[in-house]
Structure 1
Amino acid sequence: MTTFAVVRPALRETREAALLRVLACATVAFAPVEGYLTAVQSQLGKVAPAVLTLTWLAVRIRQRRLPHPTPLHAVLALLAVVLAATAAVHSAGEFTAEYTVRWLPFLVVTAALADVASREVPIRRLLLAATAGATAAGAGALFSLVVGGEARASGPQPDPNDLAYFLVAAVPLLAALNRRGLSSRNRRGLVFTVAGVVLVAGATATFSRGGALGLTAAVGWLLLRRVMPWRVLGSAAAAAAGLGLAALLFAGPQLDRALQEKSFIAASNVDTRELRWQAAARMLTAHPVLGVGPGGFREHYAAESHDAEVDEQTPVAHNMYLEVAAELGLPGFALFAGVLATAAVASERTVRRAGPGPRRTEAIAIQASLLAVVVTSTFLSEQYYLPLWSLAALAVAAETRIRREGEGSADAGAARDQ
């Protein structure tokens, strides 16, 4: 009877941990292909994060266990307070309710991922899930380009630039998943080589300049921290050159049309983004404390720009930092930047504590992905997409795990000494 009383709770905890692992992996894997899910049903893409959040809350309540406190949780809580305050002040705004509802789930899911990744879900599994989802999106991008006849690959995302954001953020994670390099001759190396080719080719097919800069920054960081060998970079460059030559030979007219369209769009984007950035700066200057409210940039853009874009009255700023600052004010922007800063500090602590090995590689790969996100978001409004938030959660969770293991080793050593 006593044995049964002990085994039953243990079995329940095992099942709960397994469920949290599945839901957490599904959340990060489905994010890049959410467009395909919403094409089936408009809310289908939100199912996995919603169920993860509810399950996480139910499990922690049953366990009577609070999430492991981290600076990230404090920053998220304060950001939620500022978000609620500015939403209340601008409650009559046309887009306030819609964008407040878009913000809040990311804050909650980030807190949940940071907690479950520090306890139930191995970091590597989440990195693998994120890469798998992005690879599927990259395959969809190439399909839309080759079969669908699109001038710029978009796949599961309406905007090719947003697709590039997902693909570029996933590329550095391959370094953590295959420490021997993408050119390894074993079966695993072959799988990751194919995934890397799909991601890079898909990102290239979007013709996104921001994505190209983000990928360059991420690869440079991996080389600087000696996670990606130069021979791997050389192999990747040779593969990219081969793909480019094949595209030129077999799809020359289509490629030429895509380049012409991109050149025309690029020239237009320079002017429109300058207009939008100036408008966002004026909104921030006029409302520095609580901004113009969630979604307020779209609402006030036409007035602030003096109808500079007649055919686009409610656009996004195409700069994540200016848009967040204009809508949430300086306190909100400081807390938003605090999410990135907390992740950067946590990942660097993990690198220094881990020493040579997979933990260090994972932490540097997360850093490189965050760097790609930071650079790409200079030209895009990406605060409403998961990579930024999930990478911050994983960076903090990795540091929590390694610190907890260090404390456990110290306690064991003290016990032996006694």
Structure 2
Amino acid sequence: MIWRVLGTCRLAICVIDAIGELNFVHPALQSTWRGSGGRATHILRRTLPAGLAVVAVCGLVSLLYVINPLVGMVSLAGALALWVLVRNHFWSILAVYASISLGVLGLITSDSTLTVTKLLIALAAIIWLVRTLFYKETDAFIETLRNPAIHMSIVLTFIVYLSIFNAHDSGFAIYFFAKFASLCGVFYLVVLAIRTERQLYAVIRTVILCAAIVSLGGVYEMVTQRSVHRLFGREQYLAVGREGGGRLTSRHQSGYVAPTLETQKGAWVRVQSTFNDPNTFSAYLLSAIALSLAAFLGAEKRRDKWLYAAALLPLVLSLLGTGSRASLGLLGLVVLIYFLHLPFRNKFAAVAIAAGSLTVVISALVILMPQFRKGISIDAFRDDPRYGLWTMAIHMIADHPWMGVGYGNFIDLYSQYRVPGAPGLLQPMPHNSFLQIWAETGTLGAAAALGFVLLIVWQLWVVMRNTKDRKRWFTALALTGAVVGYFLNSLTIPMLDDQSLWLTAALGVAGTSVLRAGLASEQSRWGSSVSLAGESTSPAEDRGLAKSR
């Protein structure tokens, strides 16, 4: 009932916002919208019929996807709320991050309407792009497009769309076309909207804040053993109870069994907060921890350090509660990366953080996971259902090496390629994002995806190698940890449809554009420049970055 009330309120507010957004076509009308009440009323009267028509069409479309039309209307109206924010495109980025990271759209809408919602967010990106090209900021837009990571993302997008139309089922092709368009829309909206370092820092702080709030949901689940979705009327599982032998089980009205962790002192439900899967939630937490830890190390004021430390505490606790072996192991790797790159003056703190974090990770693995206490063997790995799924993906790659089987076609060919050990129930993806890209889009798509990630990391490394600015250096480090953490995590779980993954990739691309522009300005002041190889043409590079930090 709570989500229905929230949805009704959102609907009323979003309709008003959508009507106002129709003025984006005429810049003169935009200025009058913020002018006197009389002129605004006149504009409202002129745009009211068109606004109601837009909402009516969205309502009709929603009926095709959901049983409850109110749910569809609420979801689509929420997208229109983001649409209206495109008038101030930077704040729209914060809205997109907040709504998706906090899981607001997912909590109050069904999965089908969420897909349509993201598609309308893609339309918002197109609207902003038209405004940028025809009205203002054309030079800044062209400068942003010079980023080689954007070039690679465009190539990857083109390859994915080619593979979509290589699908066996035309109906599925249309569905995946719309779904991928929504993800691309969010990606390019973020990439093109962040233009200054100040905006980049604001978005990173927003991401950390949202992640801290979401992680409180994970802590809540650890303590109460109840789903956060229950607060919004979408119960995932009921209170858990112990049965014979002390094994922890869960009861669900629709038959869903919550994943549990067996420990030396019993068992508990794996936390997932507003996410639909503990592993996806753990990848999101790892990325947020990478951002928060770098922000903590780079903060100069004591107050800021305390704030980032306060954000890190629930993030780490929730990560432990997810029980994700990959994320817990990668946490130590991220800390190690930070340790290797920190200036010499901070080496003692880095050693303490690295040693403490690795101790926590190793202890957690030993305590939480029986397989780590018994040791890891090849035979145990082959018993994992993921081994069968990965084998299926490799067979698809062998049969369709160049263009793949078509984006989203893994589930369509599941019965044909199923091997012993793979789950009997149809799986939509092979629990490995890179293998999924390779199998569904071919070697060309896999090469483009890998090149995309490497270009982001390389450009951030160039910034770290040459900059003298402390804040810029730690920001590049934070983005490196977030992008690398997400990419490595995606090698063990399916994440191509995860909005947070796309947002993090977009933040990495936008960060490279903004930080390299700032580096160029910095180098011009110091009388040096940065080559494509990432080497400074001035001896200033060797004067010791540690002294400047």
User: Which of 339, 342, 353 lines up with 2:466 in the alignment?
Assistant: 353
Find the aligned partners of 1:159 and 1:48 in 2 and give their Cα distance. Answer: 25
Encode CA deviations 1:393-415: one digit per residue, 9 max, x unaligned: 3333334334434555788899x
Give the letter aligned to residue 480 of structure 2: Q
**Contact 2:287 2:485 (C-alpha < 8 Å) held by counterparts:** yes
What is the RMSD computed on CA atoms of the aligned residues?
3.9
For 2:184, give the aligned amino acid: L
Q: 1:138 to 1:236 in 2, by over 3 A?
A: farther
Q: Is the 8 A contact 2:121 2:185 kept in 1?
A: no
Q: Which amino acid aligns with 1:63?
A: K
Give the deviation of 1:274 after TM superposition.
0.7
Correspondent of 2:411 among 298, 301, 314: 298
2:307 is the counterpart of 1:194? no
User: Which digits, 9 at most, give the CA deviation of each residue in 1:143-172, with x for residues without a partner?
Assistant: 122121561111111210110000001111
Q: How does 1:324-363 map to 2 (within 5 A)?
A: 324-363=437-476
The alignment-based identity, stated in percent, is 19
Q: Find out whether 1:170 has 2:288 as its counterpart.
A: yes
- The Cα of 1:114 is off from its aligned counterpart by 2.0
Q: Which has the higher contact order (CA 8 A, sep 6+)?
A: 1
Instruction: Specify the alignment match of 2:514 in structure 1.
Output: 401
Query: What's the offset of the Cα at 1:89?
Result: 2.0
Conserved 8 A contact 1:100-1:294:
no
Aligned-residue offset at 1:90: 1.3
Aligned to 1:63: 136
Q: Deviations over 1:7-56 (max 9, x none)?
A: x79x99xx99982221112222333332x432212346738944751452
**Counterparts of 1:100 and 1:162, CA distance in 2:** 23
2:302 and 2:196 map into 1 onto residues whose CA distance is: 31
**Residue 253 of structure 1: aligned partner:** none
The answer to whether the Cα contact below 8 Å between 1:32 and 1:133 also exists between their aligned partners in 2 is yes
What SS does the aligned partner of 1:193 have?
A: helix
Q: After TM superposition, give the deviation of residue 117 of structure 1 in Å.
A: 1.7
Deviation of 1:338 (Å): 2.0
Kindly provide the amino acid, as one letter, of the partner of residue 136 in structure 2.
Answer: Q
Alignment match, 2:193: 116
Aligned partners of 1:47 and 1:207: how far apart in 2?
33
Partner amino acid for 2:174?
A
> Does 1:136 find its partner at 2:208?
no
Answer with 400-409 or 228-237: which moved more: 228-237
| Other-structure match for 2:492 | 379
For 1:389 and 1:239, locate their aligned partners in 2 and report how far apart those are by CA, in whole Å. 27
Aligned match of 1:41: 109
Counterpart code for 1:39: L
Compared with structure 1, are the counterparts of its residues 244 and 211 closer, same or farther at alpha carbon in structure 2 (3 Å cutoff)? closer
Q: Check whether the contact 2:197–2:518 (CA below 8 A) recurs between aligned residues.
A: no
When structure 1 is superposed on structure 2, of 232-241 and 324-333 the one drifting more is 232-241
8 Å CA contact 1:346–1:395 kept in 2: the answer is: no
Instruction: Give CA-to-partner distance per residue, 1:283-328, whole Å, 9 cap, x none.
Output: 0110112111111112212220147546422242111111110011
Q: Please, which of 97, 122, 125 is the counterpart of residue 174 of structure 2?
A: 97
Distance in 1, matches of 2:211 and 2:342, equals 24
Q: CA deviation at 1:208?
A: 0.3
Q: Say whether the 8 Å CA contact 1:20–1:52 is kept in structure 2.
A: no
Pick closer, same or farther for the CA change 1:355–1:141 going to 2, 3 Å.
Answer: same
The separation in 2 between residues aligned to 1:300 and 1:17, in whole angstroms, is 40
User: How much has 1:376 moved relative to structure 2?
Assistant: 1.1
TM-score, normalised with respect to structure 1: 0.80
Counterpart code for 2:284: F
Question: How many residue pairs get matched?
Answer: 392
Matched with 2:502 is 389
Gaps of 5+ in 1: 248-255
Shift in CA distance, 233/71, structure 1 to aligned 2, threshold 3 Å? same
Whole-Å Cα distance in 2 between the matches of residues 332 and 49 of structure 1? 25
Query: What is the distance in 2 between the residues matched to 1:201 and 1:194?
Result: 12
Paired residues of 2:290 and 2:481 also in contact (CA < 8 A): yes
One-letter amino acid of the structure 2 residue matched with residue 404 of structure 1: A
1:277 to 390, 394, 410: 390
How many Å separate the matches in 1 of 2:197 and 2:130? 15
Structure 2: stretches of 5+ with no match in the other structure: 1-27, 36-83, 227-239, 241-267, 528-549
8 Å CA contact retained: 2:119, 2:182 = no
1:221 aligned to 334, 337, 340, which one? 337
* CA distance 1:171–1:260, shift in 2 (3 Å): same
User: Partner residue of 1:251?
Assistant: none
| CA distance 1:210–1:101, shift in 2 (3 Å) | farther
Q: What residue is the counterpart of 1:317 in the other structure?
A: 430
User: What are the Cα deviations for residues 88-134 of structure 1, in whole angstroms up to 9, with x where unaligned?
Assistant: 12151674433333323333332332222234862111111111222
Tell me the equivalent position of 1:159.
277
Of 400, 404, 407 in structure 2, the residue corresponding to residue 287 of structure 1 is 400
More off after superposition, 70-79 vs 42-51: 42-51
**1:212 and 2:328 matched:** yes
After TM superposition, the score normalised by the length of structure 2 is 0.62
**C-alpha distance in 2 between matches for 1:138 and 1:16:** 27
Q: 1:305 to 1:374 in 2, by over 3 A?
A: same
